[in-house]
């Protein structure tokens, strides 16, 4: 130790330190000769560390693969991996990098011929396409679990799946690459974290921006191949499901088509996050809309998608029809019935309410909250031909609003009510209630349905929720069972059918049968 710290060795240390300081490489010291850390929850073998071997070194990217997997592969599969590395390297150099650097010119400071991107192929569990590790942006001195570099981890199983097109594989990569950009442009510069939904929105949109949605093997088709559920659209509570990614992908395209891609990219280059970043962008560009307005328009566009009704209620460049909107509540067709729903919403959440069936006439009553949070609730009527008609329950500070539709069963197949809570206050939970009375035009006997009122208790003395103890009917093992939101109200469903009036001819037949059964029983 004593001999090491002589002047000669000290001068070498100073020179090396200066080289790293001026080159800017001190924070990137990825060393593939050591085991690298991975997410064990994503790994097919539940490993937390792997050894890697080099696949390709290219101008901008160095490719590595899990050594354990590589050794088990056939030579043909190894060739597939190597060939894909060449294809992705070329795609990155001639398409991805030139287009992205136009909107994020600063990435040239940390990604160029000298400072390369690292891609690691490793097997991941089903449904996981790739990830980045925030810990990798730290040096080893800062974190013992850092791999110390700009690293993207991709699922090696996908590269051997002939059913996944290259457009989709490129999109898996660009999604994760966009996360790297987000960290460099937002987290590192401003020491803040982007809201999850907006960061995922950017990562989903980048594939569209790069042209990977222009063929039948598009990334969007991959996202939509299993359909979309609109049961619960929730921006703030990101649940990381395939449905969440599908919806946020569509929302990104809607935003970019309406306001140009700048609304996606420029909101990253600011010290604001989430809805505040978008509202700031809109104000600077001279738009009168706020994010809350845009969110409500998009929610309607998912069902209506008709530019002739309103240019904001459609996807301008997507011919898409979402045919299964939200929860379905079924009403008897030829009988009187009553349906009552009580549920809650949190910040930027929507629960599409689809009602199927119904008798001759339909009465729909919406209750507003005590603070009149719902000024305008959209509903869409769908007639027998599939034609959609948009309208609104406009409260104008009223506490209830009622809609009556005559000859409902003759004209319409269903109605979709769309309660939404477009508010950035994450601490507020809003209750919504609606009631439906479905009844026939002519009945021989009028029988009033007996409805068990179901309410939710509240400890808040100023709450608009009734504090009563009642009997409720809840749907189990279905989409109606929602996660616990603390004081949020559960979904409550009451469907009560009145006693049926028996026609005269059935009374005659039943009496006839009873007469002979009585005689026959005497001979037994």
Q: pLDDT band at 431, cuts 50/70/90?
A: confident
Q: Which domains, from first to last, does the chain contain?
A: 163-324 (no CATH), 327-496 (2.60.120.380)
Share of the chain above pLDDT 90, in %: 60
Round to whole Å and give the CA distance between 220 and 323: 17
Predicted local distance difference test score (pLDDT) of residue 225? 85
Q: What is the mean pLDDT of the chain?
A: 81
Element (H, E) at 442: none
Kindly write down the DSSP assignment for every residue of 178-226, as one continuous string.
HHHHHIIIIIHHHS----HHHHHHHHHHHHHHTTTTSSTT-HHHHHHTT
Whole-angstrom distance, CA of residue 95 vs CA of residue 211: 9
SS3 content of the chain, % helix, strand, coil (to 5): 35, 20, 45
d(CA 432, CA 371): 12
Residues 6+ apart with CB under 8 A from 367: 399, 400, 432, 433, 434, 435
Q: Which two tokens stand for residue 32?
A: 């593939």
Per residue in 92-150, pLDDT (tens digit) is 999 999 999 999 999 999 999 999 999 999 999 999 999 999 999 998 889 999 999 99
> Does 327 score more than 80 pLDDT?
no
Least confident of 176-185, 448-457, 469-478: 469-478
3-state secondary structure string, 370-409? CCCCCCEEEEEEEECCCCEEEEEEECCCCCEEEEEECCHH
- Least Cα distance to 92 among 173, 213, 205, 165 occurs for 173
Question: Model confidence over 8-56: pLDDT tens digits?
Answer: 343 433 333 333 333 333 345 899 999 999 999 999 999 999 999 999 9
The CA angle 108-109-114, to the nearest 5 degrees, is 85
pLDDT in tens, 392-426: 998 887 888 999 999 999 999 999 999 988 877 77
CA distances from 251 to 262, 296, 305, 315, 475 (A): 14, 11, 13, 9, 30
In whole angstroms, what is the distance from residue 482 CA to residue 405 CA? 31
Amino acid 516: pLDDT: 53
| CA distances to 50, 91, 171 from 132, in Å | 16, 20, 15
pLDDT of residue 354: 92
Give the pLDDT confidence score for residue 292 in this predicted structure. 92
CA–CA distance, 340 with 354 (Å, rounded to integer): 13
By CB atoms closer than 10 A (0-12, 13-18, 19+), residue 253 is buried
Query: pLDDT value at position 512?
Result: 55
């Amino acid at each position: 130790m004593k001999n090491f710290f002589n002047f000669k060795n000290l001068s070498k240390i100073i020179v090396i330190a200066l080289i790293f300081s001026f080159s800017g490489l001190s924070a990137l010291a990825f060393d593939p000769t050591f085991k690298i850390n991975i997410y064990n929850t994503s790994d097919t073998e539940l490993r937390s560390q792997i050894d890697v071997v080099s696949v390709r070194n290219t101008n901008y990217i160095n490719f590595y693969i899990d050594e354990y997997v590589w050794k088990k592969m056939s030579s043909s599969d190894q060739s597939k991996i190597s060939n894909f590395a060449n294809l992705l390297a070329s795609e990155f150099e001639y398409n991805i990098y030139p287009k992205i650097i136009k909107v994020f010119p600063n990435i040239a400071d940390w990604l160029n011929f000298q400072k390369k991107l690292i891609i690691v192929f490793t097997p991941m569990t089903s449904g996981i396409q790739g990830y980045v590790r925030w810990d990798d942006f730290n040096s080893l001195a800062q974190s013992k679990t850092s791999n110390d570099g700009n690293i993207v981890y991709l699922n090696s199983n996908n590269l051997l799946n002939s059913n996944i097109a290259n457009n989709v594989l490129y999109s898996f990569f660009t999604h994760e690459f966009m996360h790297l950009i987000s960290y460099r442009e937002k987290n590192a510069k401003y020491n803040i974290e982007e809201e999850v939904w907006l960061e995922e929105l950017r990562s989903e949109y980048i594939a569209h921006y790069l042209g990977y949605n222009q063929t039948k093997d598009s990334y969007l088709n991959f996202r939509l191949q299993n359909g979309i559920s609109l049961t619960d659209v929730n921006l703030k509570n990101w649940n990381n499901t395939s449905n969440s990614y599908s919806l946020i992908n569509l929302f990104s395209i809607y935003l970019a088509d309406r306001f140009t891609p700048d609304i996606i990219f420029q909101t990253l280059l600011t010290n604001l996050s989430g809805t505040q970043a978008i509202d700031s962008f809109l104000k600077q560009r001279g738009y009168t809309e706020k994010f809350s307005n845009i969110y409500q328009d998009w929610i309607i566009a998912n069902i209506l998608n008709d530019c002739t009704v309103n240019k904001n209620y459609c996807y301008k460049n997507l011919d898409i029809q979402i045919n299964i909107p939200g929860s379905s509540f079924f009403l008897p067709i030829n009988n009187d019935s009553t349906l009552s729903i009580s549920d809650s919403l949190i910040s930027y959440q929507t629960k599409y309410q689809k009602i199927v069936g119904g008798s001759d006439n339909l009465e729909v009553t919406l209750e507003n909250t005590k603070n009149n949070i719902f000024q305008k609730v959209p509903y869409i009527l769908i007639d027998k031909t599939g034609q959609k008609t948009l309208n609104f329950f406009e409260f104008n500070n009223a506490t209830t609003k009622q809609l009556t539709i005559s000859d409902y069963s003759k004209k319409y197949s269903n109605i979709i009510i769309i309660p939404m809570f477009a508010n950035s206050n994450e601490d507020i939970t809003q209750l919504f209630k609606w009631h439906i009375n479905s009844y026939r035009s002519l009945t021989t006997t009028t029988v009033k349905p007996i409805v068990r009122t179901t309410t939710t208790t509240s400890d808040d003395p100023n709450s608009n929720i009734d504090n009563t103890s009642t009997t409720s009917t809840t749907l189990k093992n279905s989409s109606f069972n929602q996660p616990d939101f603390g004081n949020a109200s559960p979904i409550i469903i009451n469907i009560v059918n009145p006693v049926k009036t028996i026609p005269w001819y059935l009374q005659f037949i039943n009496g006839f049968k009873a007469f002979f059964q009585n005689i026959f029983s005497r001979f037994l």
